[in-house]
Homo-oligomer: A and B are copies of this chain.
Amino acid sequence: MSGEAKKEITEEQKQQLREYRESIDNIDASLVFMLAERFKITKAVGFYKREHDLPPADPSREKLQVERLRDLAKSANLDPEFSEKFLNFIIREVIQHHERIRERGEL
């Protein structure tokens, strides 16, 4: 941590970074497939609610989801604020899907 120009990266350091990146890539693949499965379900919910003329959103359900995820995040040593931001990020996408389903009956 000096003010000098950055040193050239060594082979050993390259190898260490490569190993970290392999783990990150594996986790990212898992996240993408879990997200795909989650949206499959929320799309089914959207179609079900449309078919049965049920209200699109349920604020009490969302409040419970946030609280539950914050608790899970704490137990995993993940910032609870981040878990809440993450859930809101996902829910914004779900709402867009549901709006398209309601308006057009398709995605």
Contacts and interface: CB of A to CB of B under 8 A. Distances in A.
Contacts of A93: 82
Give the contact-size bracket for chain A. Answer: 35 or more
Interface of A: 1-2, 4, 6-7, 9, 13, 16-17, 20-21, 23-25, 27-42, 44-45, 48, 50, 52-55, 61, 65, 68-69, 72-73, 76-78, 82-83, 86-87, 89, 93
Contacts of A6: 53-55
A11 to B, nearest CB: 13
Contacts of A9: 54
A32 B65 contact: no
A53 B20 contact: no
A38 B32 contact: no
Given A20-B44, A21-B61, A24-B38, 12 more contacts: A1-B53, A6-B55, A7-B53, A20-B45, A28-B68, A32-B69, A32-B73, A32-B76, A33-B76, A35-B86, A36-B76, A36-B78
Contacts of A29: 72
